[in-house]
């Protein structure tokens, strides 16, 4: 305990963030039941929150947590065993535990049976694949990943996503039931399923990052932490799957995007767009790490994938000293690739912006106009926002005003609306 942590709960939380994946992984292997293991891990954490602030953090905190979790497992098996012969058999075959020995103190370091260092990596990876299983909704995958691998409490997750704690708990409970009902095995998926399953894992990590980096609402500080946690998860994945270029690409994309965080707010907290950012505030070490990760992805020699292309675009911005200095032709080419690989109206719109920078607004306007009837942009401020900007650059002020006014009216995000409103105001002030 220290002055910054008078209750000692922060220290428990810190240990948990480091150990939760290993504890849950080992308990899943021990019980053969992921949902049960997750409950047991939470029970062990709850016990630590009561005991450690009183008695101090044990010398081997992971061993302590594991011993408690295992004792609770045996209790659970015995309870279930009265109803189910399978659990009764399990309870009798397990090594010594509180329920069988009557011990109440978890004692010092436990067994080597549970703690096989050669299996920790596989277990962590299997946990990732389980928590991000395609039978789960995206929000369930996010909540489960943050709790199991990230070691965040339901409270912390709830605060980050601005929902009640009960909602997060319900999501996790439902997710575990879904996994159980679908009979999802605790394993690293076989090679044939690997690419699709990996894509799912990466999308969950990316979602955590965008949730943390989006400016929509909520406690900014906490949300930045969420982005940091996503970066950490991506680094963990590069260690677990060093041969997968898209894993390196995702890490690169997150590092290169996070590098711009220090410059994305003005003195009054307003959003500063990429083209207006003070690039000297960008985090150079994050850019260096991101570029190194992207180079690693490129060395696989398979070309860039979904995240690789986005990371390469982010790299174009990261290395440019100014908007004018940016290699816009390369950005356009990378968007061409992205549009072929993962066609989407949003990619087309971003590509149009890049085209306007590379070849001028007149070249981009037909691309934007072709998107006008796209369902994805119905009721969205994005299209009129871009179109208004292009018209402004073409000197068609009246049409630009109409588009920007439409964008302001449609934009639901306060910060983004302020940016659009500023543009509109500048339009009405004649240029000097």
Partner 1 sequence: MKFMLIWRVTSDEAWGNLGEVDFDAMLETVGRFNEEMINAGVLLAAEGLAPAEEGVVVDFSSEPPVVTDGPYGETKELFNGFYLINVPTLEDAVEWAKRTPMSAAGFKTEVRRVTTVDEFPQDNEWIKKERAWRESTGQL
Answer left, alpha or beta for residue 289, where phi above 0 means left and psi between -120 and 50 means alpha.
alpha
49 touches partner 1 (CB under 8 A): no
Is residue 17 involved in binding partner 1 (CB under 8 A)? yes
Binding of partner 1 at residue 235 (CB under 8 A)? yes
Alpha-carbon 203 to chain mean position: 8
Phi/psi of residue 271, each to 5°?
-70, 135
5 binds partner 1 (CB under 8 A): yes
> Helix, strand, or coil here: 2?
strand
Q: Is 239 a binder of partner 1 (CB under 8 A)?
A: yes
Closer by beta carbon to partner 1, 107 or else 262: 262
Residue 322 binds partner 1 (CB under 8 A): no
**119 contacts partner 1 (rule: CB under 8 A):** no
262 sits near partner 1 (criterion: CB under 8 A): yes
Shortest approach of partner 1 to residue 302 CB, angstroms?
Answer: 24
Q: Given the complex with partner 1, which of 111 and 225 has the nearer CB atom?
A: 225
Check residue 121 for interaction with partner 1 (CB under 8 A). yes
Residue 107 beta carbon to partner 1: minimum distance, rounded to whole angstroms? 20
For residue 337, the minimal CB distance to partner 1 (Å) is 27
- Chain CA centroid to CA 336, Å: 26
Compute the half-sphere exposure of residue 74: CA atoms within 13 Å on the CB side of its CA. 19
| Contact pick of 82, 104, 285, 429 for partner 1 (by CB under 8 A) | 285
Residue 348 CB contacts under 8 Å (≥ 6 apart), including other chains: 339, 367, 371
Among 44, 73, 241, 287, the residue binding partner 1 under the rule CB under 8 A is 287
Contact pattern from residue 60 through residue 89 relative to partner 1, giving x for each residue in contact according to CB under 8 A and a dash for the rest: ------------------------------
User: Of the candidates 327, 377, 307, 308, which has an alpha carbon nearest to the alpha carbon of residue 349?
Assistant: 377
What 3-state class would DSSP assign to 380? coil
Q: What DSSP line would sit under 219-283, residue for residue? A: -HHHHHHHHHHHHHHHHHHHHH-TT-HHHHHHHHHHHHHHTTGGGSB-TTS-B--GGGS-GGGS-
State the residues that interact with partner 1 by CB under 8 A: 2, 4-5, 10-11, 13-15, 17-18, 121, 225, 228-229, 231-236, 239, 262, 279-282, 284-285, 287-289
């Amino acid at each position: 305990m220290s002055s910054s942590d008078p209750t000692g709960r922060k220290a428990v939380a810190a240990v948990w963030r480091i150990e939760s994946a290993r504890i849950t992984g080992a308990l899943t292997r021990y019980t053969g039941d992921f949902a049960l293991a997750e409950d047991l891990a939470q029970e062990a954490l709850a016990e630590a929150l009561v005991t450690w602030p009183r008695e101090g953090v044990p010398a081997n905190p992971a061993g302590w947590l594991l011993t408690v979790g295992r004792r609770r497992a045996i209790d659970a098996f015995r309870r279930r065993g009265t109803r189910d012969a399978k659990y009764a058999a399990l309870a009798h075959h397990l090594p010594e535990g509180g329920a069988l020995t009557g011990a109440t103190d978890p004692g010092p370091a436990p067994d080597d049976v549970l703690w096989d260092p050669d299996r920790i990596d596989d277990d962590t990876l299997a946990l990732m694949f389980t928590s991000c299983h395609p039978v789960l909704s995206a929000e369930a995958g996010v909540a489960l990943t943050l709790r199991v691998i990230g070691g965040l409490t339901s409270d912390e997750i709830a605060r980050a996503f601005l929902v009640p704690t009960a909602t997060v708990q319900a999501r996790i409970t439902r997710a575990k039931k879904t996994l159980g009902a679908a009979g999802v095995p605790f394993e690293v998926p076989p090679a044939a399923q690997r690419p699709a399953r990996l894509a799912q894992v990466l999308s969950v990590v990316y979602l955590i990052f965008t949730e943390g980096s989006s400016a929509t609402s909520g406690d900014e500080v906490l949300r930045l932490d969420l982005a940091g946690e996503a970066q950490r998860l991506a680094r963990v994945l590069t260690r677990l799957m060093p041969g997968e270029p898209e894993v390196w690409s995702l890490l690169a994309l997150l590092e290169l995007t996070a590098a711009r965080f220090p410059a994305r707010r003005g003195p009054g907290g307003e959003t500063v767009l990429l083209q207006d950012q003070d690039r000297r505030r960008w985090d150079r070490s994050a850019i260096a790490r991101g570029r190194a990760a992207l180079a690693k992805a490129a060395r696989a020699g398979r070309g860039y994938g979904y995240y690789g292309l986005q990371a390469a675009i982010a790299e174009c911005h990261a290395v440019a000293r100014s908007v004018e200095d940016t290699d816009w032709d390369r950005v356009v080419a990378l968007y061409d690739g992205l549009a072929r690989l993962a066609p989407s109206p949003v990619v087309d719109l971003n590509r149009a912006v890049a085209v306007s920078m590379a070849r001028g607004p007149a070249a981009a306007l037909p691309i934007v106009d072709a998107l006008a009837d796209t369902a994805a942009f119905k009721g969205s401020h994005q299209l009129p926002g871009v179109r208004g900007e292009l018209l402004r650059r073409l000197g068609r002020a009246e049409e630009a005003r109409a588009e920007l006014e439409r964008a302001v009216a449609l934009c639901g995000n306060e910060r983004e609306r302020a940016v659009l409103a500023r543009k509109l105001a500048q339009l009405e002030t004649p240029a000097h």
